[in-house]
Amino acid sequence: MHIPDGILPVPLTAGGYAIAAAATWYSVRRINQKEDPRENVPKAALLTAAFFVASWIHIPVPPASVHLVLNGLLGAILGYFAFPAIIIGLFFQAVMFQHGGLTTLGVNAVIMGAPAIVAHYVFRLRRLGNKESRAKIAILGFLSGSTAVAISVAIFIAVLLTNLPSQLDTVAETAAIYALALAYLPVMTIEGVITSLLVLFIQRVRPAILDGV
């Protein structure tokens, strides 16, 4: 779901940078409102690195395999640090692995980061009611993970549909994009299950992580 350089028109890449800059500014502003904003920087940075590394793990889905996106979990755990963390992860991917791009960094950050913020609010719903039961955490973990991927796919498809070459066969183009969306259905489910298992694991081993950074 990372759009490479050279495909999108400049107004869109510039718009992506503008939205990403605004979201980062808002996130940094919220972080700076904390009593000691720098206290959580090492935690957020190391968790960012850990998420980045975890996204290299491949899940066997015969006959192929998929890798984890983890933007839902990232939003659930990192809160307002999630958007900067995603920009950093995408920047590393573009510079070191040529995955994504430098001009499309803003657009890709919106595709991955906006759903992470949504996931943050979805996972916060666990605080509603009297206690945080494991069932509630598991369900909201699943919803955070799968919803984030679903929204990312939706934004990705919207960007593609509105910016593909004008001479493309419309029928073939629409069919290919819908096929892409269908291919992501199992990924959304797997991402939801993994996120759910992961938050349950963290709750049992180190529940402080779920309180956010």
Partner 1 sequence: MKLEAIDQYATLRSPFHSWDPRCKLIGFMALIFAFSFVRDLRVLLAMAVATITIYLVSGLPVSFIVSRLRYPSLFLLVLLLILPLISGQTIVTSIGPLGIRQEGLNGALLIATRFLAILTTGSVLFGTAPFLTTIKAMRALGLPAILADMVLLAFRYLHEIGDDLQRMQMSMKLRGVRSSRFNLRSLRIPAWMSGSMLVRSYERSDSIYKAMVMRGYGQATHYRDDFHARASDISILVVFLLAAGGFVVGEMICGRGSVPL
Give the footprint of partner 1 on residues 173-202 (CB under 8 A).
173, 190, 193-194, 197-198, 201-202
Kindly state the smallest distance separating residue 196's Cβ from partner 1, in Å: 8
Query: Which pairs from 111-114 meet CB under 8 Å and 24+ separation?
Result: 111/1, 111/2, 111/3, 111/152, 111/155, 111/156, 111/159, 112/1, 112/69, 112/71, 112/86, 112/152, 113/20, 113/23, 113/71, 113/82, 113/83, 113/86, 113/87, 114/23, 114/151, 114/155
Kindly state the smallest distance separating residue 130's Cβ from partner 1, in Å: 26
User: Residue from 129, 166, 182, 211 that binds partner 1 (CB under 8 A)?
Assistant: 166
Kindly state the smallest distance separating residue 87's Cβ from partner 1, in Å: 8
Closer to partner 1 at the Cβ: 10 or 128?
A: 10
Segment 15-74, which members bind partner 1 (CB under 8 A)? 24, 28, 31-32, 36-39, 41-54, 56-57, 59-62, 68, 70
Number of Cβ within 10 Å of residue 133's Cβ equals 11
Segment 102-141, which members bind partner 1 (CB under 8 A)? 102-103
